[in-house]
Chain A
Amino acid sequence: MSHHLFILSPSDTPLYELTHYSSKPVPSTTSPLAANLPSWSTSAFAGTLTALSGASSTAQTHNTQGGPVRMGGGKDRHVIQMVANASLDAIEEVMRKESVMYLKSVDKFNEWTVSAFVTPGNMKFILLHESRNDDGIKSFFHDVWELYVKTMLNPFHTAHTPIRSGVFDGRVRASAKKYL
């Protein structure tokens, strides 16, 4: 089971992205979903499912569940990013109505749910995930928010600088391991 985190600036430029493979048990619904998808969609998304879930895939038998190896190459990255981008509209819709920070799940796309978190500074954290984990995700978002604030305190960092700090990366990964 994997999660993809994107941090976007107020002008919607991506500042940071992370792919995290959770070691928590995968709900067994992922493989049946592959069969449910209409045949025209399996080309792009079968790649997603089998590559990323690694559950019962003949093509990629060497992948083990929860391994940190980046699987699937370039195909699924595009899908992921497309899903994330599409969710931005949904986020803005919700933001117009209510102003909470943690927006639970703004979008659903086949097996991916998109959860979002909008900070007071209008930074968007978008998480693509497969399973429901509201509390864990909320705590994770709060953690990432705190880490982000610490990064913002660096005078060399503006609202639009991509975050390249190794320290930040390490801490976000640790937090992801803890909550997801």
Chain B
Amino acid sequence: MATSSKQFKAIGEDIWKSRAEKTNAELFAFTYGALVVQLIQDYEDYDEVNKQLEKMGYNIGTRLIEDFLAKSSVGRCSDFREVGEVVAKVGFKSFLNISPTVIHGAPPPPASPVIGASPQSLLGGSSFTLTFDENPLAEFVELPEEVLEGGLWYSNVLCGVLRGALEMVQMQVQAVFISDVLRGDESTEIRVTLIKHLEEEVPVGDD
């Protein structure tokens, strides 16, 4: 790997520190909380709310990746493993000042014999899991019973952000919550699975 994990951490720290405008964490948590409550009142169906949160996150992610690439000097990632490291150590650190831990999933068995050059983890099916020990979005939140039973993933916007951002760098991924402390689980985890690499598309009408 070109850049080691310690260097990623340092890059993340630097970007966080060099940000001129930071926002108040409580304000951020309250705003997000009001947003979720309003969505629940509007849609009344927790699956729909989850979808909407993910959609909103997707829109945020597609724009966020530009900011991220501009500020960080991280180049193209060689494999999906590195993507996971960069997302966790540089991405989350520079925007939310949190450092989730990354656990890489087992590489998938090759569908057809792959000769030397392309590493396994570029193929679809690789995944990594981010484990959050703190979640600034859910700072004061306790889910009431109906919400718990309804199956709401409170911070689902983060999954959308990951999907949107990675799609802009030509990776189609699926990001889902595995567990959430708000739901009573032991930890908050998101699993990101690579579906496929997207081909560079030539804009229509160029020829």
Chain A residues proximal to chain B, CB less than 8 Å: 150-151, 153-156, 161, 164-165, 167
Contacts and interface: CB of A to CB of B under 8 A. Distances in A.
List 4 A-B pairs, minimum CB-CB distance, nearest first: A155-B33, A153-B140, A155-B37, A154-B142
B141 A155 contact: yes
Contact of B37 (A153, A156, A165, A167): A156
Interface residues of B, number: 13
Given A154-B141, A154-B142, 8 more contacts: A154-B33, A155-B30, A155-B33, A155-B37, A156-B141, A156-B142, A156-B144, A165-B142
Contact of B147 (A151, A153, A156): A156
B34 interface: yes
Contacts of A167: 142
A11 B145 CA distance: 24
Interface of B: 30, 33-34, 36-37, 139-145, 147
Contacts of A151: 142
A140 to B, nearest CB: 23
A176 to B, nearest CB: 21
B24 to A, nearest CB: 14
Nearest to A168: B142
A156 B144 CA distance: 7
The winner among B30, B140, B141, B147 for most chain A CB atoms within 10 A is: B140
Contacts of B140: 150, 153-155
Nearest to A151: B142
Contacts of B143: 156
A153 B28 CA distance: 12
A166 to B, nearest CB: 9
23 contacts: A153-B30, A153-B139, A154-B33, A154-B140, A154-B141, A154-B142, A155-B30, A155-B33, A155-B34, A155-B140, A155-B141, A156-B33, A156-B37, A156-B141, A156-B142, A156-B143, A156-B144, A156-B147, A161-B144, A164-B144, A164-B145, A165-B142, A167-B142
A171 B20 CA distance: 40
A164 B144 CA distance: 8
B64 to A, nearest CB: 23
Nearest to A167: B142
A155 B144 contact: no
The winner among A150, A153, A156 for most chain B CB atoms within 10 A is: A156
A55 to B, nearest CB: 39
Contacts of B144: 156, 161, 164
A154 B37 CA distance: 10
A151 B144 CA distance: 12
A155 B37 CA distance: 7
Contacts of A155: 30, 33-34, 36-37, 140-141
A169 to B, nearest CB: 12
A161 B142 CA distance: 13
Contacts of B30: 153, 155
A153 B147 CA distance: 17
Nearest to B146: A156
A151 B142 CA distance: 8
B15 to A, nearest CB: 29
Contacts of B141: 154-156
Contacts of A154: 33, 140-142
Contacts of A153: 30, 139-140
